[in-house]
Amino acid sequence: MIDLHGYGPRLAEGALVTVEVAVLSLVLSVILGLLTASAKMSRSWFLHRLGTLYTTVIRGIPDLVLMLLLFFGGQMGVNVITDWLYYQFDIDIFININEFVAGVLTIGLIFGAYMGETFRGAFLAVEYGQIEAARAYGMNHWLVFKRVRFPQMMRHALPGLSNNWMVLLKTTALVSVIGLSDMVRIASEASKSTREPFTFMLLVGAVYLAIASVSEWGFARLQKRYSVGFGEAD
Amino acid sequence: MAATPLPLEVRNITKRFGETEVLKGLSLQAHKGDVITLIGASGSGKSTFLRCMNLLEQPNEGELLVHGEEIQFKQTRHGREPADWNQVVRMRAKLSMVFQSFNLWAHMTLLENVIEAPVHVLGKSKKEAIEHARALLERVGLADRADYYPAQMSGGQQQRGAIARALAMDPEVMLFDEPTSALDPELVGDVLKVMRDLADEGRTMIVVTHEMAFARDVSTQVLYLHQGIVEEAGPPAEVLDTPRSERLKQFLAPKH
Ligand SMILES: Nc1ncnc2c1ncn2[C@@H]1O[C@H](COP(=O)(O)OP(=O)(O)O)[C@@H](O)[C@H]1O
Ligand SMILES: [Mg+2]
């Protein structure tokens, strides 16, 4: 067995933080992605521009800069809003933009933009006649989405979604720069104090790889599930 | 005043796509049990007319009454639109449409396709919907295909499945848009047979078709459309056997 010099439990905690950040960012980015795709396909000029602006801004700014911006600038912004709410409406809330929240928000925002593109392409790939049929049978917008658009879109979205997730997972390592004790940060502390960087970085790499492999397996199953009815070739 | 309201009434519908007016004031009254066929050359506006009846297209002018209830419209930036989408959803549930390209939902089995709208739109219990669906599939000759996906069925089977899906709504009126045009010739007969049965049992149907024998045998009324207006209308014996206009004579003449 490799000797972790007592860092085992802390590394496990760090791994948990990494997974939490990754999963919450994924959820946020999927929601943002669906909203962005809808905005870009909307016939409202304003929503369309808003969606485009979001994607352009996110793509143009380095991930690290965005994270620092949100971490340091975010709390100031939130304070302005909560102060205003307090003085105008006597609503007293306190929102703390800590490292965790800033990390999830940044990564969610970044990947929301990429997911938006993935989902837009996927929505457009759904055969229009089937959506019309859903409308013709009395489904409202929500039902059309839930029962036809979404399940059919997923087949086209999953390859891109899976790709984005793999990159997102690795991007979580960025949260260590704003001081969040994720797996990478704890491993680098351990490396320094034990002077055995190789042991700890190899371990961290292996954990990332394990998560990625499990996800790949999961995505393959999802792909299978959402391809039901479409034959093998598709 | 009629004792019971008409299943479907359309008054003076016009429709423009950009600058081109493709429907120039079309009306239609469907009484219970009527089979109204719409014939006309390609591009004459048959599909658009049919699609205006369940508001897949928004007519620019005109009125639409489903079972006596008038659909409310309002003017918006994007043109005239239904004022109340809940009303539209309600009226669509009373009119089921059968499409030229079937449009069965590809990710659901045939049985799932048939129970989908009864369960999720009409709020029927799943058990009841499945029982009804099985009876309907039996009726269109697809009892053994319930668990197949659309991609695993022939065009003719898909279209009969689509008719079962339409029947599952217990519709007031069924709308058919060239239901046999996308089919291989040898598959057309089965679909027409199902439609003849429906006509015989007194279903109210509006059918866009190029099948003249079908139109002659089952329609109560035939409308001949030309460039967005009804050029001739009447019982099939009149319109199909003694056409007045040169154009309709040409249209009906056997093609070589
Ligand atoms: N969505 C649309 N946008 C623009 N033009 C359309 C659209 N749908 C139909 N048209 C035009 O309207 C006319 C009538 O079309 P359609 O109702 O499909 O005719 P039919 O079903 O009799 O062949 C055609 O000239 C067609 O090109
Ligand atoms: Mg047509």
B101 close contact with A: CB closer than 8 A: yes
Number of domains chain A is built from: 1
In-domain check, residue A15: no
Q: Which residue has the tokens 């967005």?
A: B228
Whether A187 and A203 have beta carbons less than 8 Å apart is answered as yes
What's the pLDDT at A21? 95
pLDDT in tens, A93-136: 877 778 898 999 999 999 999 999 999 999 999 999 999 999 99
DSSP strand pairing (B205-208 vs B61-66): unpaired
Which residue among B56, B107, B149 places its CB closest to the CB of A136? B56
Please work out, in degrees rounded to the nearest 5, the angle formed at the alpha carbon of residue B243 by the alpha carbons of B240 and B247: 110
- As a whole number of angstroms, the distance between CA B64 and CA B50 comes to 12
Among the listed ranges A160-169, B64-73, B78-87, which one has the minimum average pLDDT value? B78-87
| Nearby residues for ligand 2 (ion, Cβ within 5 Å) | B 47
Strands B173-177 and B8-17: unpaired
Ligand 1 pocket test target in B15, B17, B49 with most atoms within 8 Å of CB: B17
All domains in chain B, ordered by first residue: 1-94+179-256 (3.40.50.300), 96-170 (no CATH)
Q: Which of B16, B22, B53, B60 to mutate to test the pocket of ligand 1 (most atoms within 8 A of CB)?
A: B22
Instruction: Return the ligand number nearest the Cα of B41.
Output: 1
CATH code (residue A77): 1.10.3720.10
Q: What is the pLDDT at residue A234?
A: 43
Alpha helices (H) along B71-152:
85-92, 110-120, 126-139
**What is the band of A90 on the pLDDT scale with cuts at 50, 70, 90?**
confident
- Which of A148, A155, A231 is closest, CB to CB, to B105? A148
Greater confidence (B160 vs A90) lies with B160
Domain holding A125, by residue range, is 20-180
Residue A188, in any domain of the structure: no
pLDDT in tens, B27-48: 999 999 999 999 999 999 999 9
pLDDT value at residue A172 = 93
pLDDT at A52: 94
pLDDT of B210: 93
Min Cα distance A189 → chain B (Å) is 51
The whole-angstrom separation of Cα B167 and Cα B174 is 8
Mean residue pLDDT of chain B comes to 94
Helices B155-167 & B185-200 angle (0-180, nearest 10): 20
Residue A233: which pLDDT band, with cuts at 50, 70 and 90? very low
- Residue nearest (by alpha carbon) to ligand 1 atom 16: B45
B105, A140: Cβ pair inside 8 Å?
Answer: no
pLDDT of residue B1: 52
Residues of A in contact with B179 (CB under 8 A): none
Please state, in angstroms and rounded to a whole number, the distance separating the CA atoms of residues A112 and A118. 10
Pairing outcome for strands B95-98 and B79-82: unpaired
pLDDT in the model for residue B256? 57
Residues 6 or more apart whose CB falls under 8 angstroms from that of B215 comprise: B37, B39, B207, B209, B222, B236, B240
- The share of chain B scoring above pLDDT 70, in percent, equals 98
Q: What's the average model confidence in pLDDT over B212-233?
A: 95
B 190-209 residues inside an 8 A Cβ radius of A = none
Amino acid at B6: L
In whole angstroms, give the CA distance from residue B119 to residue B122.
Answer: 6
Say if residues B97 and B175 touch (Cβ distance below 8 Å).
yes
Q: Is residue B161 predicted with pLDDT exceeding 60?
A: yes
* Residues in contact with B133: Cβ distance below 8 Å, sequence separation at least 6, in sequence order: B111, B114, B115, B118, B146, B164, B168
Tell me what the mean pLDDT of segment B149-159 comes to. 96
**Cross-chain residue pair A137–B78, CB shorter than 8 Å:** no
Residue A1 lies in a domain: no
ipTM: 0.92
Q: What is chain A's mean pLDDT, rounded?
A: 91
Predicted model pTM: 0.86
Average the pLDDT over A162-187 and give the result: 92
The angle at the Cα of B17, spanning A124 to B71, to the nearest 5 degrees, equals 90
Mean pLDDT of all residues in B175-195 = 94
Residue A136 resides in a domain:
yes
Report the percent of chain B where pLDDT is more than 90: 95
- With respect to residue A113, please indicate whether it lies within any of the assigned structural domains: yes
* pLDDT over 60 at A226, yes or no: yes
pLDDT of residue B2: 53
Q: For the purposes of burial, counting CB atoms within 10 Å of the CB of A222, is it exposed (0-12), middle (13-18) or buried (19 or more)?
A: middle
Indicate whether A77 pLDDT > 90. Answer: no
Q: What pLDDT is stored for residue A179 in this prediction?
A: 86
| Protein residue with least CA distance to atom 13, ligand 1 | B43
Does A51 map to a domain?
yes
The residue nearest atom 8 of ligand 1, judged by CA position, is B48
Helix (H, G, I), strand (E, B) or coil at A38: helix
